[in-house]
Structure 1
Amino acid sequence: MTISSSVRTLEVPDVCHRWLENRGTIYQLLTEFLGHWPTLSLVAHWSRSSGIGKAAELTRGGRELMQYLSGRSPEELVRICEREGAEYRRLLQHSKQRPLAESRYSPYSCRAQDLSDFYASAGTAFKKVSGEPDDHIAIELEFMTILHDRMLNSAYCEDSMLRLIDIQKKFLEEHLLTWTPAMCRELNASTISPLYLAVSRLLEEFLEYDLSMLRTWKQSCLAADEPVREVVLV
C-alpha cells in the first residue's frame, strides 16, 4: 500500500498495511461498545459490518467478538441484545462506584484540566450528550479516532504528520495505557458476558499493538527521502 498525493508519496512499511487500514474502524468499534448501550441497531450493525472482521484480523479479542456476533439471525440478535442489555445495566450500576475513567484506575494523578488542555492542544472539542468526563474511556478512544482520521484525510506537511503521530503515541503512553489494563482486569473479573469479555480483550490487545505500529510508522516517516504533503489511502 502507498499513501500518496499528486505532489509527494510516502511508502508505508508492509508490516503497517493492515494496521493503518483497520485502526480507525477498531477505535470506533471500541468507542461504541464501551460508551453506548448495546441497542439492537448497534449490535446488528457490527454483526454485518466488515469492521468486525478487521478487528478479527489483528487480535484474538476481535476474533472472539466476530464469533459471537457474526452470522446471527435476527431472532438471535434480539436475544443477544436482551442478555447484553441486562448485563450493561448491571455493569453500569457497578461502575457508579468505579467509573470507566482514567482518574479511577491510573496510578498517576490525572486532573480533568490536564486532559482538557491535551485535547485543546490538538484542536479537539467534544459534544457530550451524556455528560461523560474528559477521562472516560469512550472520550479517550474517540480522541484517537479523530486524530487517525485527520492523519489520513487532511493535507499536512511532514512536520504536521510527525506531530500527529507523536500526539497519538504520547496519549497512549501517558494516558490510555497507564490505566486500561487495570480496567480490563476488573471488567474480566466482573462479568461472564461474551460481548464484554471480547471487547475487553480487544481493547487490551489493540492499544499495545497500536503503539508499536505508531512507533514503526514514525521511523518510516523519518527515513523517507521526500516530505509528506497530503495523505490519502489508495
Structure 2
Amino acid sequence: MNEQPTQTPSNLPGPAFAPLRLAIILGSVREGRFADTLSSWLVPELRRLHDGELDVIDLRHAGLSFGWGHEPAPLPEGTPGFDERIAAADGFVFVVPEYNHSFPGPLKTAIDQAYSEWNAKPAAFVSYGGTSGGLRAVEQLRLVLGELHVVDIRDGVSFPNIGRQFDANGQPRDAEGVRQAVRLMLGQLEWWARALQTARRQRPYGSR
C-alpha cells in the first residue's frame, strides 16, 4: 500500500504563508528617553533574527495628539496613520518604561486610537525602569491589551536599573544573556503571530 505524504505547511491546501509583519512600538515620548538607546540596539537585533518585516512605530512621530498643548507634526502625504499600521501588523513588540508603577499615558492614548485592528494578534514586551525593570508597567499593559483581544506573550525582556545596563557605546553589558532573552521572546511571538495569522485568514475573528 502506498503511503500518503504527510501534510506540512508547504503542501497544505490554500495560499502560502504570508510573511509576518511585526510592529515595534516605542512607548515613551519624553525628552531624553532611554528608549532611543534601547531601540538602537534592539531593532537591529530583531532584524537579524526575524525574517519577516519590521515596522518601528515611534509615538513621537506617529501623528497622534497627546493633549497638554502637544500638537503632532502632520504626517507626509500618503503616510499610513497609526491605526493603519496597527492593522497591517501580525504582532507587536512594546518597548515600555515604567513611570509611577505604570506605563506612560501617551501609550494608553495611542492604544485607544484603534480597536479591531489589535484583535487576535500577539504582543511581547521589552521593559525598563528602576529595580522592577518595568515589570509593573507590563502587568498593567497586559490588562489593557486583554480588553482588546490581544494575546500577551509570557516571556519578555526586562532591564532593571536601566542606566547601568548599557555601556558608553549603547550596547548591553550582559550581551549574551539579553540576546538569549530576545530569542526566546521572539520565538514565542512568531509562533503566536503565525498561528493567529492563519486563523484570521481561515475565519474572521469573532465570527460564528
Is the strand fraction higher in 1 or 2? 2
Q: Which has the higher helix share?
A: 1
Work out whether the TM-score is over 0.5.
no
TM-score if structure 1 supplies the norm length? 0.27
